[in-house]
Amino acid sequence: MIRRETFVDDILRDIKEVISQMVPPEARITDVEFEGPELVIYVRNPEAIMQDGELIKNLAKVLKKRISVRPDPDVLLPPERAEEMIKELVPGEAEITNISFDPSVGEVIIEARKPGLVIGKNGETLRFITQKVHWAPRVVRTPPLQSQTIYSIRQILQAESKDRRKFLRQVGRTIYRKSETKSEWIRITGLGGFREVGRSSLLVQTNESYVLVDFGVNIAALRDPKKAFPHFDAPEFRYVLDAGLLDAIIITHAHLDHCGMLPYLFRFNLFDGPIYTTPPTRDLMVLLQKDFIEIQKMNGVEPLYRPRDIKEVIKHTITLDYGEVRDIAPDMRLTLHNAGHILGSSIVHLHIGNGLHNIAITGDFKFIPTRLFEPAVSRFPRLETLVMESTYGSSNDYQMPREEAEKRLIEVIHETIKRRRGKVLIPAMAVGRAQEIMMVLEEYARIGGLEVPIYLDGMIWEATAIHTAYPEYLSRHLREQIFHEGYNPFLNPIFKPVANSRERQGIIDSEEPAIIIATSGMLVGGPSVEYFKQLASDPRNTMIFVSYQAEGTLGRQIQRGLREIPLVGEDGKTEVIPVNLQVQTIDGFSGHADRRELVSYVARLRPRPERVITVHGEAHKCLDLSTSIHKKFGLSTRAPNNLDAIRLK
């Protein structure tokens, strides 16, 4: 530890000498320190640096580090006074709706309905704000739907700013520690999600570093920890946790099968390092993890973790936007790229060693444009190994084209509502499928083809609010609608949130037709199960599956055609539910790439990898896709089992 600290101090001493030669003295530098994956320069007069638009770029080029300039904490105006000053400087027409502070980075976040007026002509108003309050202003457009999740996360980061700064400095010193040896080998171990769907987790090891990609839970197998949790019993993983050697965790996206076990690590003090992901993924995974606690309680299962453990996840998360390159270990550099699956979903690109090896881990991805997102990124600076999902990897896994799927959805809804005067229940994941279906129905309603209410139950409304807070992560078409046409389809009044169980029961009891989109998508808990129980016996109603139904879930049982379903009620008694409603599966809305897209993705990858490893799919699908890629492209392929370790270099 002493050697590590001494080495980092030596690096910083050399860096400070370079900075002192390049930064004008009037900036009045007070400190230079590694904080997370960035080099932070604290100054009393930030304007002196900002006046030279090329200075930071030139410093980064010379030092080969990501650089941030922040005001010294001692010069920051108290938040209350700073807020008053900002409101005086910004014209009222800007319509500021919220001002919040993040002392850990010296930043003030200004939300306004007209952000351009906060920025001012050529950034003039922003410069005035910086000069007067010294906080670094970040201007964001006011989300049309307020998210309690985003608000809570900001409150936590503000309240924990001192601890977070201390944490970031510890992370920085770990990243830039002295390498004990030169990177010579790389291997990956499947801890979950290999030849299966659920509990995704992959350990990347070198002779210097240990990084975990995803740490999920298989919700369908909760009562069997051996099938629900990643393999804590893997010797190399157990050793890494016990010795405190895990450098970082990277989360590809917010679905619980990829991040649902994260708070568990903090509950039992198994990890105290950084979590890297995109800002939307951080917000959505916090939302889903909190809901997971409630689902476990409703199912009579002791929750795996507590709300305070999710708070630790927030404190330990470092967010990166797409395309930002960051050092996360002495021999690993991370870049996140759009995966096209759900909001903020990422393909993880790891550059290991000094040109030793490059890995891309797709997580879940989509390779065609959807209403919500652009297709997954398929071009990387370098690539030797691809680890890709195989959810729809079988040779006959061809999804209905998106246009046909939308047409079929409308036909089924019309049949139910117009002819049978029934209700349509669409179980959907709160994140991704729900918003995709919303956009289809919204367009149809806008042209006058749909006049019944669309009820959103579960977390869907809150998840949608988070979507509206990150329009830059949405498709070009949606951004064009929101920014240039001034129309936000998420706000169509046809969408009606369901606030409580009383409103839910009113919808069920009503004789009026309706469309209900409710969580969870696989009917493993949440309001969709309650709707199913009470709507299933009426043949006028229809249930439409629009997403993958995992083995062992209630959704899979119904999808297979069972006409009687035994369900255990809150009183512990088993009730047999007769399934008389119509059951339809429309698979064209999946956020996963189908067989055609998976093969096309490999074909279009640039550069072409040397090796492809297929994961995240039922065993026969992983094997089928692996064999087909080898035959078609002549690449080395594997479909490993959980606990298999593969040496890449």
pLDDT tens figures, 59-80: 999 998 899 988 899 999 999 9
What pLDDT score was predicted for residue 180? 67
Q: How confident is the model at residue 294 (pLDDT cuts 50, 70, 90)?
A: confident
Q: Are 628 and 396 in contact (CB under 8 A)?
A: no
Q: Averaged over 389-404, what is the pLDDT?
A: 94
Q: For residue 431, give its domain range.
A: 402-589
Please write the tens of the pLDDT for every residue from 258-275. 999 999 999 999 999 999
What's the half-sphere exposure (Cβ side, CA atoms, 13 Å) at 562? 12
Say if 158 falls within a structural domain.
no
Residue of 149, 58, 164, 45 whose CA lies nearest to 104 = 164
What pLDDT score was predicted for residue 647? 96
Q: Are 345 and 413 within one domain?
A: no
Q: Are 321 and 451 within one domain?
A: no
Q: Are 255 and 303 within one domain?
A: yes
Q: Are 291 and 407 within one domain?
A: no
What pLDDT score was predicted for residue 304? 95
Q: Are 559 and 447 within one domain?
A: yes
What pLDDT score was predicted for residue 460? 94
What is the overall mean pLDDT for the chain? Answer: 93
**Phi-psi region at 195: left, alpha or beta (left = phi > 0; alpha = psi -120 to 50):** left
* pLDDT above 70 for 3: no
Q: Are 349 and 480 within one domain?
A: no
Contacts of 73 (CB under 8 A, 6+ apart): 42, 103, 106
Name the CA radius of gyration of the chain, rounded.
Answer: 26
Domain boundary among 74, 103, 134: 74
Q: Are 622 and 580 within one domain?
A: no
Say if 167 falls within a structural domain.
no
3-state SS, residue 400: coil
CATH for 130: 3.30.300.20
Domain count, the chain: 4
* pLDDT above 60 for 344: yes
Q: How confident is the model at residue 221 (pLDDT cuts 50, 70, 90)?
A: confident
| Amino acid sitting at position 472 | E
Q: Are 485 and 498 within one domain?
A: yes
Q: How distant, in Å, are the alpha carbons of 189, 229, 234, 287, 301 from that of 221? A: 22, 9, 19, 21, 12
Q: Do you know the residue count of the chain?
A: 649
Say if 266 falls within a structural domain.
yes
Q: Are 383 and 337 within one domain?
A: yes
Q: Are 106 and 137 in contact (CB under 8 A)?
A: no
- Residue 279 CA from chain centroid, whole number: 7
Q: Averaged over 210-230, what is the pLDDT?
A: 92
Which two three-digit tokens encode residue 1? Answer: 């530890």
Q: Are 261 and 381 within one domain?
A: yes
3-state SS, residue 248: strand
What pLDDT score was predicted for residue 285? 97
Q: Averaged over 302-310, what is the pLDDT?
A: 96
- Residue 69 CA from chain centroid, whole number: 27
CATH for 619: 3.60.15.10
Please write the tens of the pLDDT for every residue from 88-119. 999 999 999 999 998 888 899 999 999 999 99
- For the chain, helix, strand, coil in percent to 5 are 40, 20, 40
| The model scores a pTM over 0.85 | yes
Q: Helix crossing, 55-63 with 2-22: angle to 10°?
A: 140
3-state SS, residue 590: coil
CATH for 451: 3.40.50.10890
- What is the distance between the alpha carbons of residues 369 and 594, in angstroms, rounded to a whole number? 13
Say if 166 falls within a structural domain.
no
User: What are the start-end ranges of the H helices in 23-54?
Assistant: 47-50
- What is the distance between the alpha carbons of residues 134 and 46, in angstroms, rounded to a whole number? 8
Say if 39 falls within a structural domain.
yes
Q: Are 438 and 454 within one domain?
A: yes
What pLDDT score was predicted for residue 383? 98
CA angle, corner 503, sides to 498 and 504, nearest 5?
A: 75
Domain boundary among 93, 123, 142: 142
- What is the distance between the alpha carbons of residues 422 and 481, in angstroms, rounded to a whole number? 33
Q: How distant, in Å, are the alpha carbons of 104, 206, 468, 498, 613 from that of 641? A: 42, 20, 39, 42, 11
What pLDDT score was predicted for residue 570? 66
What pLDDT score was predicted for residue 4? 55
Domain boundary among 567, 589, 611: 589
| Amino acid sitting at position 315 | K
- What is the distance between the alpha carbons of residues 532 and 557, in angstroms, rounded to a whole number? 13
CATH for 18: 3.30.300.230
Say if 331 falls within a structural domain.
yes
Say if 567 falls within a structural domain.
yes
What pLDDT score was predicted for residue 2? 45
Pairing mode of beta strands 38-43, 67-71:
parallel
Q: DSSP character for 219?
A: G
- What is the distance between the alpha carbons of residues 200 and 216, in angstroms, rounded to a whole number? 5
Please give the full DSSP string across 338-375, using - where no structure is assigned.
Answer: E-SSSTT-EEEEEEETTTTEEEEE--S---S--SS-PP
Please list, residue by residue across 179-206, b when 16 or more beta carbons sit within 10 angstroms of its beta carbon and e when fewer do. Answer: beeebeebebbbbbbbbbbbbbbbbbbb
Question: What is the helix (H) or strand (E) element at residue 451, kind and residue range?
Answer: none
Say if 173 falls within a structural domain.
no
* pLDDT above 80 for 1: no
Counting beta carbons within 10 angstroms of the beta carbon of residue 135, is it exposed (0 to 12), middle (13 to 18) or buried (19 or more)?
Answer: buried
Please write the tens of the pLDDT for every residue from 16-27. 999 999 999 999
* pLDDT above 50 for 133: yes
Please write the tens of the pLDDT for every residue from 445-484. 998 878 899 999 989 999 999 999 999 999 999 999 988 8
| Residue carrying structure tokens 């001494």 | 6
Q: Are 366 and 406 within one domain?
A: no
What pLDDT score was predicted for residue 571? 67
